[in-house]
Amino acid sequence: MSGSRGFSLPIRVVEAGGLSAWLVEDHAVPVVSVSWSWQGGAALDPGGQEGAAVMAAALLTEGAGPLPATAFADALRDQAIGLSFSADRDGFEGGFRALLPALPEAVRLASLAMAEPRLDEEAVARVRARAVAAARRTLETPRGQAGRAFWAEAYPDHPAGRPAGGTAESVAALPVDAIRAALGRQVRREGLLVAASGAITEGELAALLPRLFAALPAGAPPAAQPLPAFRRFGQRVLPVEAPQSSVVFGQAGLAASDPDWEAAQVMLRVLAGGGFASRLMQVVREQKGLAYGIGATLDVLFRQAVIVGSVATENARVAETLAVTREEWARMAAEGPTAEEMADAVAYLTGSLPLQFTDSRRVADALLTLRQNDRPPEWLAGRPARLAALSRERVATVGRRLLAPAELSVVVAGQPVGL
Amino acid sequence: MPPVTRRTTIRTAAVLPAVLSAAAPAAVLANPAVQPASPDRAAEALADRPLFGANTWTLSNGLRVVHVESRRVPVVAHYLFYGAGGGEDPPGRSGVAHFLEHMMFKGSRNVAPGMLSLAVAREGGQDNAFTSRDVTAYFQNVEASRLPLVMRLESDRFAAPLIPADTLEPERDVILEERRLRTDSSPRARFWETFEAALWGPQHWHGRPIIGWEPEIRAISRENLLDFYRDRYAPANAVLVVAGDAREADVRRLADEFYAPVLARPYRPRERGGAAPAAPAEARVTKRDGAVREASFMRAAVAPSLTWGDVRHAWALEVVAHVLGGGQGSRLHKALVETGLATGAGCSFDAEAAGASTFTLSATLRPGVAPERMEAALDEAVARLLQDGPTEEERARSVRQMTAGALLALDGFGTATRMLGGALSIGVPIETVEFWPRRLREVTSAEMAAAARAVLGGAPSTTGWLLPEQPA
């Protein structure tokens, strides 16, 4: 009953021109998705230039080579090519999805975007205005304020504590040269991870890789400053005028390479996973009606997971919600899951595997995530057997090792009563 | 989760790097390579064959069934749509449809409260539900061999939900928290609610929030919920959609086993055919909000849809929305964004609606610019479109960009179910979904001009500004 019957994802490794790409070939629909990434992202932004990488990523699709912004956009949209670039806290990603007839044009435009971005004055001004507005809008809601404060408190001396997109002030002051420098640091021929999925053969992908990346400068992006330990900061309250408080809570997690990674996933699924099945959801929503939803997951940055959760509740009930959350945290640390909870969580994690690979973009992105976490290609195929072999004791042990209510750091944005 | 309509699919396919979900029809599997020489010809070839190749039939109790086969991944999406949403809430009781959606998870004749979700999760599946103005839908995505399980669970609450009295109050608290989360905590969501009420009136079926006005959520009784279930959740007012790795014969057999025994009963059809308001409740709303940091503009006009008013206008308006506000290269982008008056500007229009729809223009003001100046530039852009109509080149470009990605709806999971179920539940025939690129290509620039004049040049409309407390 726990099997993902007959499901397998044959991953092949394609090498060409010094690059390697993971491929899942699937000709059911005439579409191809390719995703790639470098380490770095906002972590490479120098102090005072926060937001440079994110803005640089946005500008890659705002004109390249002979094509000004609108001509470039038309070239993409005339053939429904979904090309995009993004930067986050620890990485810089690119990717496209294209129908087969549009594949050559998708490769040409993606390569052009990376090799010859125009950074026209008009486009820079427009994208800057949009980025400033986005940075300001994030702070319009209690949730945006709570998230911002949580990371700033947890990593006060590392770029991971800054908003990846910068602040309204840093983005407004960002010189074009800083954006150009961000691209120069980041968009290189080396340090690349590539994944592809869809109606493309190994040979076709091998031929495509050099066309995509050969025009980029040699070398790899510089290494980011190592991530320090998560700083436990206790409880912070941000006064925000709102009927409901937004709460972000979390604590140190474990490395993606930790041998107990999957045991920790099972333990967190039982405690705080998605849907109605978790202990926190049962007590906070189903039994007490305290919130619409509550959950916590492993948020990975620099191959290191932080346990981060969130909940939103009426100001008068924040204290109760937090008390209940801490109780459940302590109970899991003390007792671990029951045998039945273990079986349910393993059945879910195993059975839901095929649902993560239902379209070409999800497949390519999932492969890329595996590579970013240094998993070998056979990791996925072995996952059901590894999950099935986990003992209750091992999952309880990882709960004991990781979870402690005293370790929980909490930001509350709102007007909470009795904190 | 927002419902996927044909329009959102167009937009995500053409513009946004969002993940789509859909399923591939057997026809594509059997003959995988649709590779004509040019994308234009690919699009034309597509127009002559159904997008999903869906099978449809009706059970003896009136339940319509839609089946789309795709063997790409061993998963199946199982959706049950009801042709009733927030628009059908009784007067003074906005939020009933959504409240009932929550209570449908509180058990049925053979399934204990909360057990449906737990049983689906135990099998590795995902389950959820959503309420829109037009429909309420319940769904599960599961590994293919679990289809009988979810059909048994869903048909049980289809036939006889418990709606237990003792779970009503905790669930009301959950819904009030949901309202605080989605609406009360966001100045933009608060404004949108005020704005829709200003155009249609706060008690009009289109002017009330789907989640409900807070005092009305508090007033909803168990009787209200039972009445809504009895009046609207009848087999003949529902559509079952199964898409994925399931054969038609098996779906027919399972539908007969689980859904056919549910007794037919009369239902109360929705009443959306009436005239739209002759004038907006309020023609202009300006609101200052201390939480707002970026000023926003919005204008919405009452517009025809595929089920109300002049249907040909509805198709033409989809193309008008792209010409006027379809991102880079559109008229509003040129007039407002490239000139530095706004940080963003766009149009939205959904022809797939039960009853009257809205055509919406929106923009975010660039800090330091006077709102009047931006609005004047917008007025001028609209006036020019109404006076001269779109050029033939604009029409061709928009239709090309809107239809180029139609096939991308096959790359995924869930899009077929949402597009087909959503359309059938509001009375739009399945062919409209299967052949939508052809309909768009038939639109002429003269029709676009006429539709734009009818809606932007005379239909009731409301204009709104959401401003920070201190000018930015």
Per-residue model confidence as pLDDT tens digits over B136-194 = 999 999 999 999 999 999 999 999 999 999 999 999 999 999 999 999 999 999 999 99
Of B12 and A265, the one with more pLDDT: A265
- Do residue B143 and residue A344 have CB atoms under 8 angstroms apart? no
Cβ–Cβ contact B405 with A under 8 A:
yes
Chain B CA closest to residue A365: B19
Identify whether residues A386 and A327 lie together within a single domain.
Answer: yes
Percent of chain A with pLDDT over 90: 94
- Do residue A314 and residue B34 have CB atoms under 8 angstroms apart? no
Q: Which residues contact A95 (CB under 8 A, 6 or more apart)?
A: A33, A34, A35, A36, A83, A84, A85, A361, A364, A365, B17
| Residues of chain A neighbouring B188 (CB-CB closer than 8 A) | 140
Identify whether residues A242 and A350 lie together within a single domain.
Answer: yes
User: Within 13 Å, how many C-alpha atoms sit on residue A273's CB side?
Assistant: 21
Identify whether residues A86 and A187 lie together within a single domain.
Answer: yes
A218 within domain boundaries: no
pLDDT for B34: 30
Copy the structure tokens of residue B231: 């009046």
Mean pLDDT of B3-14: 41
Dihedral in degrees, nearest 10, Cα atoms B295, B301, B302, B303: -110
pLDDT in tens, A129-187: 999 999 999 999 999 999 999 999 999 999 999 999 999 999 999 999 999 999 999 99
Cβ–Cβ contact B404 with A under 8 A:
yes
pLDDT at residue B1 tops 60: no
Of B215 and B274, the one with more pLDDT: B215
A222 within domain boundaries: no
pLDDT in tens, B353-386: 999 999 999 999 999 999 999 999 999 999 999 9
Report whether B317 contacts B351 (CB < 8 A). yes
User: What band does B27 get if pLDDT is binned at 50, 70 and 90?
Assistant: very low
User: What band does A6 get if pLDDT is binned at 50, 70 and 90?
Assistant: low
Report whether B159 contacts B110 (CB < 8 A). no
A158 within domain boundaries: yes
Distance from C-alpha of B215 to C-alpha of A394, rounded to nearest angstrom: 50
User: What band does B45 get if pLDDT is binned at 50, 70 and 90?
Assistant: low
A225 within domain boundaries: no
**The residue to which tokens 């700083």 are assigned:** A231
- Do residue B294 and residue A136 have CB atoms under 8 angstroms apart? yes
A371 within domain boundaries: yes
Q: Which of A93, A276, A279, A285 to mutate to test the interface with B (most CBs of B within 10 A)?
A: A276
B101 is a catalytic site residue: yes
User: What band does B23 get if pLDDT is binned at 50, 70 and 90?
Assistant: very low
Copy the structure tokens of residue B34: 């649709």
Closest CA to B40 of B386, B321, B441: B441
Identify whether residues A289 and A209 lie together within a single domain.
Answer: no
Identify whether residues A17 and A91 lie together within a single domain.
Answer: yes
Estimate to the nearest angstrom the gap between the alpha carbon of B143 and the chain centroid.
26
pLDDT at residue B8 tops 60: no
A304-314 and A294-301 strand pairing: antiparallel
- Do residue A125 and residue B188 have CB atoms under 8 angstroms apart? no
Residue A391 has what DSSP assignment? -
pLDDT for A274: 79
Copy the structure tokens of residue B352: 């797939």
Q: Give me the residues of B, 216-255, that contact A with CB < 8 A.
A: none
Identify whether residues A81 and A186 lie together within a single domain.
Answer: yes
pLDDT in tens, A133-149: 999 999 999 999 999 99
Angle, in degrees to the nearest 10, between helices B115-122 and A339-351? 70
Identify whether residues A268 and A128 lie together within a single domain.
Answer: no
A143 within domain boundaries: yes
3-state secondary structure of B21: coil
A170 within domain boundaries: yes
pLDDT at residue A103 tops 50: yes
A220 within domain boundaries: no
Report whether A330 contacts A405 (CB < 8 A). yes
A193-198 and A31-39 strand pairing: antiparallel
pLDDT in tens, A53-98: 999 999 999 999 999 999 999 999 999 999 999 999 999 999 999 9
Distance from C-alpha of A394 to C-alpha of A401, rounded to nearest angstrom: 10
Which of A150, A183, A213 is at the close of a domain? A213
User: What band does A196 get if pLDDT is binned at 50, 70 and 90?
Assistant: very high
Q: Which residues contact B6 (CB under 8 A, 6 or more apart)?
A: B352, B419, B423, B433, B436
**The residue to which tokens 């060409």 are assigned:** A16
Per-residue burial over B91-125, b if 16 or more Cβ lie within 10 Å, else e, is eebbbbbbbbbbbbbbbbeebeebbbbbbbbbbbb
User: What band does B18 get if pLDDT is binned at 50, 70 and 90?
Assistant: very low
pLDDT for A115: 98
Estimate to the nearest angstrom the gap between the alpha carbon of B400 and the chain centroid.
23
pLDDT at residue B33 tops 90: no
Which of A160, A183, A213 is at the close of a domain? A213
Report whether B125 contacts B140 (CB < 8 A). yes
- Do residue A292 and residue B340 have CB atoms under 8 angstroms apart? no
| Residues of chain A neighbouring B27 (CB-CB closer than 8 A) | none
Distance from C-alpha of B68 to C-alpha of B79, rounded to nearest angstrom: 12
Cβ–Cβ contact B328 with A under 8 A:
yes
Identify whether residues A195 and A95 lie together within a single domain.
Answer: yes
Report whether B1 contacts B417 (CB < 8 A). no
Nearest to A351 among B123, B294, B343 (CB): B123
Identify whether residues A368 and A319 lie together within a single domain.
Answer: yes
Distance from C-alpha of A390 to C-alpha of A396, rounded to nearest angstrom: 11
pLDDT for B36: 33
Identify whether residues A102 and A240 lie together within a single domain.
Answer: no
Per the prediction, chain A carries an average pLDDT of 95
pLDDT in tens, A279-299: 999 999 999 999 999 999 999
Mean pLDDT of B274-282: 87
How big is the A-B interface in CB pairs under 8 Å? 245
Summarize chain B as % helix, strand, coil (round to 5): 45, 20, 35
pLDDT in tens, B320-346: 999 999 999 999 999 999 999 999 999
> How many structural domains is chain A composed of?
2
- Do residue A125 and residue B413 have CB atoms under 8 angstroms apart? no
pLDDT for B275: 77
pLDDT for B362: 98
- Its pTM stands at 0.92
Identify whether residues A156 and A200 lie together within a single domain.
Answer: yes
3-state secondary structure of B297: strand
Distance from C-alpha of B400 to C-alpha of B406, rounded to nearest angstrom: 10
pLDDT at residue B7 tops 60: no
Of B42 and B262, the one with more pLDDT: B262
Which domain covers residue A300, as residue numbers?
235-414
pLDDT at residue B472 tops 90: no
pLDDT at residue B454 tops 60: yes
- Do residue A289 and residue B408 have CB atoms under 8 angstroms apart? no
Cβ–Cβ contact B316 with A under 8 A:
no
pLDDT for A229: 97
Active-site entry in B69, B101, B196, B352: B101
CATH classification of the domain holding A119? 3.30.830.10
Identify whether residues A135 and A76 lie together within a single domain.
Answer: yes
